[in-house]
Amino acid sequence: MLPYLAAMSALSFALMGWDKQLARRRRFRLPEALLLTAAALGGSAGAGLGMLAFHHKTRKPLFYLSVPILFLLQTAAAAYFCSR
């Protein structure tokens, strides 16, 4: 489970960085649903770090509220399954 979470976090981090670059260049952007789906599928740590590192989506309540909640839920689930 931990390798999966690490891979999804790396993907989420990369997606946040890529979308920020697209925003700076005023290009076609990644859908917010894609960013949130990657976070929800186990990449919340990477999404949160990407938000901080790239200063991206930090003003959007949907992101600054849901990403930390997803992180707490995923951390709790990982702790539960790793302790079994």
**pLDDT over 90 (residue 84):** no
Note down the domain range covering 61. 2-83
DSSP state of 40: I
pLDDT at residue number 62: 96
Structural domain tally of the chain? 1
Does residue 63 have a pLDDT over 90?
A: yes
Q: Per residue in 19-58, pLDDT tens? A: 999 999 999 999 999 999 999 999 999 999 999 999 999 9
* Whole-number pLDDT of residue 69: 98
Q: Give the global pTM.
A: 0.93
Rounded Cα–Cα distance for residues 31 and 47 (Å):
14
Exposure on the CB side of residue 50, measured as CA atoms within 13 A: 26
Helices (H) and strands (E) in the chain, counts: 4, 0
Whether the pLDDT of residue 1 is over 90: the answer is no
